[in-house]
Amino acid sequence: MATHFEGRFEVEFKYRLADRAAFLAALAPLDPEVMLEDNQERDCYFDSPARTLAAEGKSLVIRAMAPSGIRLWILKGPGPDRCEAVNISDDGKAISMLHNLGYEEVLVIEKRRSIYFLGPFHLTLDHLTGIGDFAELAIMTDDEAALPGYRQQLLALAARLGLDDAQRETRSYRTLCEQQRESL
């Protein structure tokens, strides 16, 4: 299970779901391994006062999941494929350390998440209040040369699940939440 989240690179495709139940019905015959279902996640995004991380295309996130108890320190970027995460035991202490280093909390995203495994791939089913339901199909690796092949395999998996390019969402959850906040 842990190997699904190891690596410096991540290939990920996100799809907006119009019908969550229909997607779950398409997933069931593939007999996925369930890691967790309906966990509540709280992602706290941090940046410097000058927003240097955002300018460099990076996101620094502390994630707390309940009831699973998983706590992660995540760095995404630069670039769409770069992603590293490490388990931490105390998200409150990590947040305090970031504040002491001069970082500010710039955004909090809360979502309901289920995680499934299909062979080497992981699939997350997310609900963000006011934004919608999404399926993310992904794999992490240290082998940068494997990324193009994984992209093709994930697109084939998406097709098996009834997902198509019209449903593809290329914006990050951070961007979607920031855009929603700006439109209010």
pLDDT tens-digit readout, 56-81: 999 999 999 999 999 999 999 888 77
3-state secondary structure of 88: coil
Report the distance separating Cα 70 and Cα 88, nearest Å: 8
pLDDT, position 1: 46
Asked whether residue 111 carries a pLDDT value surpassing 50, the answer given is: yes
Degrees to nearest 5, angle at CA 115 with 110 and 120: 140
Which CATH architecture fits 2-183?
Beta Barrel (2.40)
Domain definitions of the chain by residue range: 2-183
- Element of type H or E holding 23: helix 20-27
Report the distance separating Cα 139 and Cα 3, nearest Å: 10
- 76-104 per-position pLDDT tens digit: 988 877 888 899 999 999 999 999 999 99
Query: Which pair of tokens denotes residue 37?
Result: 């279902």
Q: Which of 79, 75, 76 is nearest to 98 (CA)?
A: 75
Query: Which pair of tokens denotes residue 20?
Result: 């969550």
Active site residues: 45
Cβ-defined contacts of 163-166 (< 8 Å, 24+):
163/15, 163/23, 163/135, 163/137
Amino acid at 54: A
Banded model confidence at residue 150, pLDDT cuts 50, 70, 90: very high
